[in-house]
Structure 1
Amino acid sequence: MAQVCEICGKGPQFGNNISHAHNVTRRRWNVNLRPIKAKVGPSATKKLRVCTSCIKSGKVTKA
Structure 2
Amino acid sequence: MAPARWGRTTRHRRGPAHALSELVADEGVPRRSAQLRAEARAEGGAARAAGLVEEMLG
Q: Quick check: TM above 0.5?
A: no
Relative contact order higher in (CA < 8 Å, ≥ 6 apart): 1
Query: Which has more strand, going by share of residues?
Result: 1
Instruction: Output the TM-score relative to the length of structure 1.
Output: 0.24
Instruction: Output the TM-score relative to the length of structure 2.
Output: 0.25
